[in-house]
Amino acid sequence: MQEDPRDAILSSLSALSRAFFLILSLSLIVAFIAYGVVKKIPGTYEVHFSYMVSIEQHDVALGFRYDGYYALSSTDLFSATLASIASAPETIIAAYIASGIQPPTQDAIRLVRVVTAKKTAPALVQITVTDASQKNAEQLTSGLMTVLAKTIDEYNTKGPASLIFHGVSTTPWTSVHAPLPLPIAASMFMLVFLGGNMIVLVRQALKRGHH
């Protein structure tokens, strides 16, 4: 005999009602634990600065100038090169040495997470330095800027004699990135509460199926 849908609904609602306070209590406990754990997670500090790349030409070839498209292409290529150099493991190690900070690891994969550099425009490179310590992040940024300035000078010395590139940096700005405990706690509450109700409904459906 097929079960009346109305009886099935009433049975499910009754089961949910009996388990409501247990599920609510468990959800609140998990939410409070998640809030406390996330609250204790230390934030990370990010130092942001940018390089604006410009080009200066020496007239070494009569009647030829790097203006217009060629000048833009040259600055675009140099900006991409500068971004790659800034985030390279050897550059980051050199920045640690220049800043007087002991490198936390020799693992290249972990090192490249410390510095991110992106060419966001043909003549603009945005760089972010990340560390758990604000002091270390700012010191490392200073060391990185010193290393990059030296690298640009060396490139101009050994590169094409007709071109000189300049990288003008913006003033570094430090931000703090910390996980937000309240949204995470709310998410955990909803996850446990909805999951608990779903488990009750599934168990009730299986119980009816055996009858």
Query: For residue 54, which of 122, 118, 116 has the smallest C-alpha distance?
Result: 122
* CA distances in angstroms from 199 to 194, 203, 205, listed in the order given: 9, 6, 10
pTM strictly above 0.75: no
Contact criterion met (CB below 8 Å) for 57 and 65: yes
Structural domains for the chain: 5-41+180-210 (no CATH), 44-177 (3.30.70)
DSSP β-ladder status, 115-121 and 163-169: unpaired
Other beta carbons less than 10 A from residue 183's beta carbon: 10
Tell me the mean pLDDT in the region 128-153: 94
**Distance from chain centroid for Cα 184:** 18
Confidence class of residue 62 from pLDDT cuts 50, 70 and 90? very low
Percent of the chain with pLDDT over 90: 47
Q: Which of 73, 79, 78, 103 is nearest to 91 (CA)?
A: 103
Q: How confident is the model at residue 94 (pLDDT cuts 50, 70, 90)?
A: very high
